[in-house]
Amino acid sequence: MVHAVTEFAIETKGLTRNFGSFCALDHLNLQIPSQCIFGLLGPNGAGKTTLIKMLTTLLAPSSGAATVAGFDVVSQPVEVRRRIGYVPQMLSADGALTAIENLTLSASLYGLRGAVRKQRIDDALQFSGLMAAADHLVKTYSGGMIRRLEIAQATLHQPEILVLDEPTIGLDPVARRTVWDRLKALKASTGMTILITTHDMEEADFLCDELAILHQGQLGVIGAPAMLKQQIGPEATLSDVFVAHSGVTLEEGGHYSDIRLTRGTAKRLG
Amino acid sequence: MQNRYVYSTLAIANTEIRKLMRDPTELFSRAVQPVLWLAIFGQVFSRVKGIPIGGLAYLDFMAPGILAQSILFTSIFYGIAIIWERDMGIVHKLLVTPAPRVTLVLGKALAAGARGLVQAIVVYLVAIALHIGIRWDLDAMLCVAAAVFLGACIFSTFSLMIACLVKTREKFMGIGQVLTMPLFFASNAIYPIEIMPHWLKLIAIMNPLTYLVDVLRHFMITGGHSNYPVVISFGVMVTVFLVLLGVASRLYPGLVR
């Protein structure tokens, strides 16, 4: 596999996406350094999901450009897909299949076969602590186990960049912690760049080396959590940073469809 | 390069078939409708002597039509699973892999084909119970299998295409209901094309179900004969499938936008 030599894992230049007359993402210039855990924050409708969809090649930009692992998302989508792993916000492991079957499908679609595939699946099950339940149907899993399986599915092909959309939404505190540990361990052992979106300030504070707050499709602020807090004041929390840069209080914002989606995910996980 | 297409198609098909095998109840509940059509509608219409069906018993004439119908009715709702998978994020995950789009659609079509074969077995069992004159020679049965497989591929891919266009379950159910009966009645499934009014004949000739029934009528029952050369019917079905596959592969990524 050709590794593009690049300082930034992800770079966008004037990235814009319109839906009719609505501008979901407005000339975004963003640079995400390699080998860090990067958080995308912002109220509902700020453009996080639109950005993630464009970076994962699911949605074409209206204008501007983005490179992921050194490849252009529009002209080289297959090269981008080979180098990223993606865990959607929704519960995307198939409940009608076992963990091994879910992993086998992902591995096959990433072109892994034979002994390599078997080895990677074994390693992934071991690493995720799912070996004992490997042959159980995923619909019998707890929410935390499903998320761990999904992360395993998204990393079988050893991507350079792992993208997670609200990875711990709907999880109880213990499950949430195991997912965080998994992500930290992944970064430490592989040097993978991890991009997450989250609404959870504790999660952003605990996990992220750097974060960006989006507001109405534009970049509000970018920096390391400690630095951003310091800019606000000595006692400031990340919530204060969020309020200062997103222009809304935490209780405001959100649309019916966002909430329905989030609750739906939470219900299935619960 | 070609291997990538084959492996990824088979990976999808394999996964879908495993899911089907895990839930066989649906296969059997799908058997209810053919039983009703053959045992009730068929028995009554057997008494009508005015339908020109070339000396066949009416039940024998309609059995291939009912097999085709059961393939159509099951496959046409295949798209609902795609919408459900979209809502679950499964489609997002598949589309982020480097697997060629066409293989994601083709794999599902092949799985639908496999399900069609199991349905054919169920309809054969019903046909045996009703003493319908089945052709048991191997060549004929292989041709039935090929036609059933292809028919299921066509209608499941058509269904997937519709799902990609309407995107919601509610709309899809409505459209599915609206499509199935016209496709069924505007075909040669339960009466010959010759007795149709001219306008309906034109629709029937453009309906892929007609060609499926025509092939089945030739190979499934003793004394049955086809209106069109078998090669033409298979040719039409393969062409229709390839066109649908092309269109559906283009539309599929639009599901997640």
What is the complex's ipTM, to 2 decimals?
A: 0.89
A111 — contact with chain B (CB < 8 Å)? yes
Q: Would you state the pLDDT for residue B22?
A: 87
Taking 3-state DSSP, the helix, strand and coil percentages for chain A, each rounded to the nearest 5, stand at 45, 25, 35
Write out chain B residues lying below 8 Å of A153, CB-based: 93
Q: Would you state the pLDDT for residue A53?
A: 95
What are the residues whose beta carbons fall under 8 Å from the beta carbon of A202, sequence distance 6 or more?
none
Q: Give the distance from CA A203 to its chain's centroid.
A: 13
Token pair, residue B136, equals 């048991």
* Contact between residue A164 and residue A179 where contact means Cβ atoms under 8 Å apart: no
First to last CA, chain B: 28
Helix axes B101-129, B78-88, angle to 10 degrees: 140
Mutate to test the interface with A, among B97, B102, B164, B255 (most CBs of A within 10 A): B97
A262: helix, strand or coil: helix
**Number of C-alpha atoms within 13 angstroms, CB side, residue B113?**
21
* Contact between residue B123 and residue B67 where contact means Cβ atoms under 8 Å apart: yes
* Spatial separation of the C-alpha atoms in residues A38 and A10, rounded to whole Å: 10
Q: Would you state the pLDDT for residue A25?
A: 95
**Domains in chain A: boundaries:** 8-92+161-269
> Could you tell me the strand order of the sheet in which A22-33 lies?
A22-33, A8-19, A63-68, A71-72
* Spatial separation of the C-alpha atoms in residues B87 and B83, rounded to whole Å: 6
Look at phi and psi of residue A120 and say left if phi exceeds 0, alpha if psi is from -120 to 50, else beta: alpha
* Spatial separation of the C-alpha atoms in residues B173 and B152, rounded to whole Å: 19
Q: What is the DSSP string of A154-188?
A: HHTT--SEEEEESTTTT--HHHHHHHHHHHHHHHH
- What is the nearest CA distance from A237 to chain B, expressed in angstroms? 33
Give the residue ranges of DSSP H helices in chain A.
48-55, 77-83, 99-109, 114-128, 143-155, 173-190, 201-207, 225-232, 238-246, 256-269
Question: What's the structural domain count of chain B?
Answer: 1
Beta bridge partners of A85: A162
Question: Which residues, given as ranges, of chain B have pLDDT below 70?
Answer: 1-2
Q: Which domain holds residue B217?
A: 2-256
pLDDT digits (tens, 9 = 90+) for B82-118: 999 999 889 999 999 999 999 999 999 999 999 999 9
* Contact between residue A78 and residue B115 where contact means Cβ atoms under 8 Å apart: no
* Spatial separation of the C-alpha atoms in residues B16 and B21, rounded to whole Å: 9
Q: In this complex, which of B10, B88, B256 lies closest to A58 when CB atoms are compared?
A: B256
In 3D space, the residue among B248, B64, B54 whose CA is nearest the CA of residue B147 turns out to be: B64
Q: Which fold has domain A8-92+161-269?
A: Rossmann fold (3.40.50)
A244 — contact with chain B (CB < 8 Å)? no
In 3D space, the residue among B159, B39, B170 whose CA is nearest the CA of residue B109 turns out to be: B159
A50 — contact with chain B (CB < 8 Å)? no
Give the residue ranges of DSSP H helices in B167-229.
169-185, 198-206, 208-220
Helix axes B138-166, B169-185, angle to 10 degrees: 140
Token pair, residue A238, equals 């990340």
Sign of the CA dihedral A67, A69, A70, A73?
negative
Q: Would you state the pLDDT for residue B24?
A: 77
In 3D space, the residue among A120, A1, A116 whose CA is nearest the CA of residue A69 turns out to be: A1
Long-range contacts of A199-202 (CB under 8 A, 24+ apart): A199/A41, A199/A166, A199/A169, A200/A168, A200/A169, A201/A237, A201/A238, A201/A239, A201/A242
A109 — contact with chain B (CB < 8 Å)? yes
Number of A/B CB contacts below 8 angstroms equals: 80
* CA-based nearest residue in chain A for residue B2: A111
What are the residues whose beta carbons fall under 8 Å from the beta carbon of A89, sequence distance 6 or more?
A49, A165, A166, A169, A197, A261, A262, A265, B89
* Spatial separation of the C-alpha atoms in residues B214 and B218, rounded to whole Å: 6
Please report, as a single letter, which amino acid is at residue B234: F
* Contact between residue A260 and residue A56 where contact means Cβ atoms under 8 Å apart: no
Q: Would you state the pLDDT for residue B1?
A: 58
Helix axes A256-269, A143-155, angle to 10 degrees: 100
Q: How many CB atoms lie within 10 A of CB B6?
A: 11
Q: How far is CA A221 from CA A30, A94, A218, A227, B92, in A?
A: 10, 37, 9, 11, 29
Question: Which residues, given as ranges, of chain A have pLDDT below 50?
Answer: 1-4, 250, 270
Mutate to test the interface with B, among A1, A109, A146, A160 (most CBs of B within 10 A): A109
